Amino acid sequence: MMSILFGIGIGSYILFMRVRKFLNSKKEFEKVKEGRSFEVYDTSKKWAIFFIVAILFGIVGIVRFGFMEYSESNLAISIVVVLCFISEIFSAQIYRKVYYNNEAFFFDDKLIRYSNIKNFKKRNTPFATDVVLFSGDSISVPTKPLLIIQDLMVEQKNEKKKKKKEKK
């Protein structure tokens, strides 16, 4: 019984932390969004489908090990799996969406202006790229939306050069 309670506690804590992060990110985006329009690159739904399938497998484990052939440790693991994958649905809403416009992009709970980006650093995985800022901070962002963002950055730089030439 103790391992089941421990599993519920760990899974609930992870779920609580993800929901809190999701709500914080949503609140920050609402602040940033005022007076601006953003487009969104969203792959969270694809990930949510995967997580829902994993949750269903976890529920099968709960039913099997909780009611059919009782195994306390396997039941505890199944409970943790279900709660963790529920929390990953919230996590996908944070880390699988990138909001962007001509001036900046919003990811996680941060607005990153294109003018603050120093460079991009490839990682060992093709799915994420580090965005290195002039402040020295580095943020790992999904690679596909960064391709769009890089194009927007080039457009923004070209517009600035064009405006400088027009002033002269």
Cβ atoms of residues 128 and 43 within 8 Å: no
Beta pairing partners, 119: 132
Write out the chain's pLDDT in tens, 168 residues. 888 899 999 999 999 999 999 999 999 999 998 888 999 999 888 999 999 999 999 898 888 887 788 888 888 888 999 999 999 999 999 999 999 988 889 998 999 998 888 988 888 888 888 999 999 899 998 888 888 888 888 887 787 777 777 776
CA distance 89 to 81: 13
Domain residue extents for the chain:
2-166
Supply the pTM of this predicted model.
Answer: 0.80
